[in-house]
Each structure stands twice: as C-alpha cells, then as structure tokens.
C-alpha cells in the first residue's frame, strides 16, 4: 500500500497524522518518564549532598542513573501499552495511542519495551546492585502487579500501582549510596502517598471512560463520596513527613507543611463543594504542582 493511501485511510478514520518520533514518545509515555526523572534526580542529588559527594566527581553515575531510569520507565510503559491495547480504544484519554491506532504493532511495542528495560537495568546495575534491584522491583510492580493483575480486577489497583511510581527517588539515591537513608524512604513515601489522591481525581474526571473499559477504579466501584473520604485520608497521611526531612532545613519544612495543609484544606472542601468534577479538577491540578514544586525545592534548599 502506498504512503498516500495510508495517510488517506488515517484521515478517513480520524487518526491524526504524526511522525514516527512522536509515536515513539507516546508509546513510552514521555510525560510520565519526564516527571519521574525529576524525582529520580532529586533522590540522587540528595544522596550526593548528604554523603558529601560532589556531583562533578560523579558525572558517570548521573548519566547511568538518569539514562537507566528513563529506559526502565519508558520500556515498562511500552509494555503497558502492549498489554492494554485491547481496552485503550474505549477511553478518550488513551484511544490515540499508537498501539491503538496501529501505527506501532503490538509485537513491536513489546520488543521495544523489553529491549529498553533490559538495557536500562544493565545501566542501573553499573551504578550499584541496590539501584539495579530496585529498578527490577519497579518494572515488576508496574508490569505484573499493576498492569497484568490489579488494574482490571481490584479497586486497590491505584495503591498497587503507586509502588512503581514511588521507586524512582529510591533508584536515584541507591545509585549513589546503596545504604538507603531514612530521607530516601521519605521520598518514596511522599510519592507513594501522593499517587492515590492524584489518580482518584483523574478517575473522577474520567469515571465514565473507566466504567466503559470495565476498570474498577475507586469512583467507579464505590462512588464519589467514598473517593473523597479516601483522598482526605491519603492527603492527611502526608502531614508527618516534613518532620522526617528536618535535615533539609526550616525553609523546606515550612514549605512542605504549608503545601500539605493547603492540600488537606482543598481535600476537605470537597465535602461542601457541590460540583464534584470541579473539585476533582482542582485536586488534580494541585497534585501536579505539589509534587513538582516540592521535589525541585529539595534541590534548591541544598544549593543556596
């Protein structure tokens, strides 16, 4: 079939014309990779700081860690797209993925994913064994525990999926210092606890799509009221964490506490707000800014 014929067919079926590079970035979910690299870098940077290691003396470690993490995360997302291609067409948010439109075949997506995770894992093991093992745990928890097991069967799928999302800062720290400090575990805790209210807000916004795809997200199974209760509980669980990060200084402690209280106030406002979807949108936007600002602030306070 000629290229002009392919493009014509794509236009007839409302499939947007994209480049191979854009399809690849969509396959590996580049947005997720980029956001997780921020937490990976922060974990690595804080390990440098608390072990009195200058980053200019460890540029090889920085490259191996960031490249390895990106490959592991991107490869896992590619495998996730391979597995979910039978349901992604049912959701507006995912129906344009290249594994759904046919721009990237399932077998190619799987091959790309396997090659990326294998290469990324090797790079992580070149830093420390601990970093490599944590990388494998992240792959297993995302691909097997979340995508293949809990996502379609259990309402707790969001919590299970939070494990893989929380390992990047541990990888970053472990690549520098295999003896994981309490601060490294607090970074893990922040991201782990952050994910349920973040994804519950998204699930509320997309509740009908998840219902159509038969994915048992909390708002689908237990409704919006229960989702609000769970969100408040998860956000409240963040309140003690700044006390464990006092070594980052009073400025960060104050900032983190203020952000936690602000998020808790917003979560509690859901009990009075009549527009549930508006509340979900506010929670989603706050959560995005929360994680980015907090992790960037951790780096800043160790530099100034």
Q: Which residues contact 21 (CB under 8 A, 6 or more apart)?
A: none
CA distance 301 to 159: 30
Q: Are residues 277 and 240 in the same domain?
A: yes
Q: Are residues 193 and 166 in the same domain?
A: no
- From first to last of its 304 residues, the chain has per-residue pLDDT tens of 333 333 334 444 456 678 999 999 999 999 999 999 999 999 999 999 999 998 888 999 999 999 999 999 999 999 999 999 999 988 888 888 999 999 999 999 999 999 999 999 999 999 999 999 999 999 999 999 999 999 999 999 999 999 999 999 999 999 999 999 999 999 999 999 999 999 999 999 999 999 999 999 999 999 999 999 999 999 999 999 999 999 999 999 999 999 999 999 999 999 999 999 999 999 999 999 999 999 999 999 999 8
Domain encompassing residue 291: 181-304
CA distance 259 to 289: 10
Nearest to 21 by CA among 134, 98, 122, 88: 98
Q: Which of 125, 151, 177 is the last residue of a domain?
A: 177
Q: Are residues 173 and 186 in the same domain?
A: no
CA distance 172 to 188: 11
pLDDT computed for residue 38 by the predictor = 96
pLDDT computed for residue 8 by the predictor = 39
pLDDT computed for residue 12 by the predictor = 42
Q: Are residues 43 and 154 in the same domain?
A: yes
In a domain, 4, yes or no: no
In a domain, 12, yes or no: no
pLDDT computed for residue 17 by the predictor = 77
- This prediction has a pTM of 0.92
CA distance 196 to 300: 27
Q: Are residues 186 and 288 in the same domain?
A: yes
pLDDT computed for residue 13 by the predictor = 46
Contact 121, 62 (CB under 8 A): no
SS3 35: helix
Instruction: Tell me the CATH number at 60.
Output: 1.10.357.140
Q: Are residues 41 and 101 in the same domain?
A: yes
Nearest to 74 by CA among 106, 124, 120, 5: 120
Q: What single string gives the DSSP state of each residue in 245-297?
A: TGGG-HHHHHHHHHHHHHHHHHHHHTTT-S-HHHHHHHHHHHHHHHHHHHHHH
pLDDT computed for residue 92 by the predictor = 85
DSSP state, residue 52: T
Q: Are residues 54 and 80 in the same domain?
A: yes
Q: Are residues 30 and 98 in the same domain?
A: yes
Q: Which of 177, 196, 226 is the last residue of a domain?
A: 177
pLDDT computed for residue 14 by the predictor = 59
Contact 50, 181 (CB under 8 A): yes
pLDDT computed for residue 11 by the predictor = 42
Instruction: State the residue for tokens 């009073």.
Output: 250
pLDDT computed for residue 6 by the predictor = 34
Q: Which of 148, 177, 206 is the last residue of a domain?
A: 177
In a domain, 6, yes or no: no
Contact 230, 267 (CB under 8 A): no
Per the structure, how many domains does the chain have? 2
């Amino acid at each position: 079939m000629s290229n002009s014929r392919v493009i014509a067919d794509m236009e007839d079926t409302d499939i947007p014309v994209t480049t191979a590079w854009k399809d690849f970035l969509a396959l590996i979910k580049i947005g997720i990779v980029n956001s997780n690299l921020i937490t990976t870098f922060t974990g690595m940077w804080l390990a440098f700081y608390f072990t009195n290691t200058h980053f200019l003396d460890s540029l090889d470690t920085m490259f191996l860690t960031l490249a390895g993490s990106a490959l592991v995360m991107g490869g896992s997302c590619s495998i996730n797209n391979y597995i979910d291609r039978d349901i992604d067409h049912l959701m507006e948010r995912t129906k344009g993925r290249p594994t759904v439109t046919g721009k990237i075949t399932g077998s190619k997506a799987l091959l790309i994913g396997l090659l990326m995770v294998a290469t990324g894992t090797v790079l992580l093991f070149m830093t420390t064994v601990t970093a490599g093992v944590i990388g494998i745990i992240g792959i297993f928890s995302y691909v097997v525990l979340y995508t293949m097991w809990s996502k379609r069967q259990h309402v707790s799928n969001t919590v299970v999926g939070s494990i893989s999302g929380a390992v990047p800062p541990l990888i970053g720290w472990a690549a520098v210092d295999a003896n994981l400090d309490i601060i490294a575990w607090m970074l893990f805790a922040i991201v782990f606890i952050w994910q349920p209210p973040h994804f519950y807000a998204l699930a509320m916004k997309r509740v009908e799509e998840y219902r159509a795809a038969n994915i048992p997200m909390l708002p689908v199974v237990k409704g919006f009221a229960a989702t609000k209760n769970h969100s408040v509980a998860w956000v409240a669980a963040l309140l003690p964490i700044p006390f464990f990060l006092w070594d980052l200084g009073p400025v960060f402690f104050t900032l983190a506490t203020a952000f936690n209280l602000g998020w808790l106030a917003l979560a509690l406002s859901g009990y009075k707000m009549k527009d549930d979807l508006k509340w979900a949108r506010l929670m989603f936007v706050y959560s995005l800014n929360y994680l980015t600002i907090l992790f960037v602030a951790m780096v800043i306070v160790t530099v100034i």
